[in-house]
Structure 1
Amino acid sequence: MPAARPQRADALRNRRRILDAASEQITANGPDVGMDEIATAAGVAVGTLYRHFPTKADLLSAVIAVDIAQIADDAEASLARTEGGARPVDEVVGFLHRVADATAHSHAVKAAAAGLGVPGHGDQTDEARAAAAVGALLAAAQRDGDVRPHIGVEDIYLLMTTAPSEHPEQIPRWLDLIVPGITTDGARDRK
């Protein structure tokens, strides 16, 4: 079987524009936004959109995959900062804040995907990267005595699902409520 041909630069640019436009349009207009509107916002013909994403479910799955990759990148960057001297507990709290903000932005996309029955984006590589980095962050904060020893990656994921994504202005209050539950001295962790 011959190797797959690499995509042309213009095809890659179109795909990126479509993904960006889909995320923006669904967030702004809700899950019922049409593929025509997404194509127009991306500045491509609807046929180009369908060549890249044959169904709306395919498009939403790809948008979610981009979001998950960004979360994994953020978790790895947080871990790298701890290796450079940052306090692990500050990085855990900062990560929670950034993910809550990102979820507030992409909530409509995730709701649309759930409504279409999209189970996920398939490849679990980025989920594994995120889990490994968050686990290492927690372990470092636990070694420092700043995060409760029973807190695990699954707890962080549970907390992320409770973030007030429809009310981003409440995210700081949400952090004020949850940080004391995961840290050994919650009052000092929001410095």
Structure 2
Amino acid sequence: MNGPTVKPTLRADARRNRARVLAAAQEAFADEGPAVPLDEIARRAGVGAGTVYRHFPSKESLFEAVVMDRIDRLAEQAAERLDAADPGAAFFGYFEAVVQQALLNKALCDALGAPMSTPEEPKTQFRVQFGRLLRRAQAVGAVRPDVEPEDLPALLSSYLALQRHSNTLARVLIDGLRPQR
């Protein structure tokens, strides 16, 4: 019988271990880069190497999970801003927060701009929530109406490239998102 694959639910202790490994990996990758050994990540997480390998069969899969976890958190941060009293400030503040995090993490930067390979990816929720922030800001006239949610990844990538070159050029992009007065 061939049906959809159901991902088993992790026990509470396994979920905690996975979360500890992700947190330790994020810190280790930030401190030492992608060459950090998995044994070092296990040590930082306070688990055995076998635990790391049970959850993440390779360093690449762990690195990808760290990036996707970060994107998941960005989606949550966007959702938290949806009730802000000033939708324009919420949108532009979030845009800047995403940029600041992406400037510190090239893999995150690349992942945010890359096409999605599956609709279940955390990037889907990130883009949905970011799009909702955009629409709220547009509804109050804080962002020009011709910008589409689908434009946001390209705008982020462009802003990041400009930010690395010149703060002035990056501000021009942001100013271009505002409606003409």
TM bucket by the smaller chain? 0.7 to 0.9
Cα–Cα, structure 1 residues 164 and 136, in superposed 2: closer, same or farther, change >3 Å?
A: closer
Higher relative contact order (CA 8 A, sep 6+): 1
Q: Are 2:145 and 1:149 equivalent residues in the alignment? A: yes
TM-score by length of structure 2 reads: 0.77
Q: Post-superposition shift, 1:177?
A: 3.4
Which one of 31, 34, 39 corresponds to residue 34 of structure 2? Answer: 31
When residues 171 and 129 of structure 1 are mapped into structure 2, their CA distance, relative to the original with a 3 A threshold, is farther
Equivalent pair of 1:31/1:108 in contact (CA under 8 Å)? no
Q: 2:127 aligns with which of 128, 131, 134?
A: 131
Q: Check the 8 A contact 1:68/1:126 in 2, yes or no.
A: yes
Report if aligned partners of 1:18, 1:39 keep a CA contact under 8 Å in 2.
yes
Distance 1:146 1:76, change over 3 A: same
Structure 2, unpaired ranges of 5+: none
- Map of 1:2-81 to 2, 5 A cutoff? 6-81=9-84
**Structure 1 CA distance, aligned partners of 2:121 and 2:75?**
9
Number of residue equivalences = 173
Q: Which 5+ residue runs of structure 1 have no aligned equivalent?
A: 114-118, 187-191
| 1:179 has 2:174 as partner | yes
* Identical residues among aligned pairs (%): 34
Task: Indicate how the Cα distance of structure 1 residues 154 and 121 shifts in structure 2: closer, same or farther if over 3 A, else same.
Answer: closer
**Alpha-carbon contact 1:17-1:42 (below 8 Å) kept:** yes
Taking a change above 3 Å as real, the CA distance of residues 46 and 125 of structure 1, as seen in their structure-2 partners, is closer
Q: What SS is found at the alignment partner of 2:122?
A: helix
C-alpha distance in 1, partners of 2:109/2:140?
35
Letter in 1 for 2:57: P
Structure-1-length-normalised TM-score = 0.73
Q: Distance in 2 between matches of 1:128 and 1:4?
A: 19
CA distance in 1, matches of 2:49, 2:39: 6
Contact 1:36 1:46 (8 Å CA) reproduced: yes
What is the root-mean-square deviation in Å for CA atoms of aligned residues? Answer: 3.2
Instruction: Give the 3-state SS of the residue equivalent to 1:80 in structure 2.
Output: coil
Distance 2:142 2:168 in 1: 20
